[in-house]
Amino acid sequence: MKILVPVKRVVDYNVKVRVKSDQTGVELSGVKMAMNPFDEIAVEEAVRLKEKGVVTEIIAVSVGITASQETIRTALAMGADRGILVETEASPEPLAVAKILKALADREQPGLIILGKQAIDDDMNATGQMLAALLGWPQGTFASKVDIEDGTATVKREVDGGLETVALTMPAIITADLRLNEPRYASLPNIMKARKKPIDVVKPADLGVDPAPRLSTLKVVEPPKRQAGKKVKSVAELVDKLRNEAKVI
């Protein structure tokens, strides 16, 4: 079975994000970039499925600028077999990414697509669900455990009330949650091998997709600094401050 794993290039989660002086976005110049952590979990799960003999080929896909090849190389070093970069200077939104992934799924015919539940830069949490709708495939979101047997993916997913287990007839879409696994570190020999693994570069137009954004960012500002806490002497004083100062009741 072939498996498709989308990976996104984002600001490294250890880096303190800074807003541009003109408030048009987040400062990316000279900032360390890395694979989206949830996508890293998805790659790890795909590699584990391959190690179990369930998967025969892992294809890492990224949509973005030329530098996104570095993110694909990371996935290749972790165990993916080949990569596809859909190169674009635009900042594609979830719907555009989902359309691109649908076109690639139509071409590659994977039995499973597993991706991170969300990206840490925009926190959209929409690409997996949109892709499932476009393909008409069943989906298991927020997966914390995945088992595949006899053409069925059993997914234990995290919901507000606890855990829910769903059975998906493949092909299917799975989005990885934080507790699905702990990604491995790529070894030096695997990093060297990853340099020789193929990465195909295509344009969105080659797939019949227009990645032009439909939304425009008006302004990006840092969140307000948290104020120091206050001690109160009575419940009445607490209620008064909640009502008149915090205005939450």
Q: What is the pLDDT along the chain (249 residues), one digit of tens a residue?
A: 999 999 999 999 999 999 998 998 889 888 999 999 999 999 999 999 999 999 999 999 999 999 999 999 999 999 999 999 999 998 899 999 999 999 999 999 999 999 999 999 989 999 999 999 999 999 999 999 999 999 999 999 999 889 999 999 999 999 999 999 999 999 999 999 999 999 999 999 999 999 988 888 899 998 888 888 889 999 999 999 899 988 888
- How would you class 166 by CB atoms within 10 Å of its CB: exposed for 0-12, middle for 13-18, buried for 19 or more? middle
Closest CA to 140 of 115, 169, 174: 174
Instruction: Tell me the C-alpha distance between 152 and 96, whole Å.
Output: 28
CATH class given for the domain over 2-223: alpha beta
CA distance readout (Å), 75 to 48, 178, 249: 13, 17, 49
Domain segments of the chain as ranges: 2-223
Per-residue confidence (pLDDT) for residue 228, from 0 to 100: 84
Helix (H, G, I), strand (E, B) or coil at 115: strand
Amino acid present at 7: V
Per-residue confidence (pLDDT) for residue 58, from 0 to 100: 98
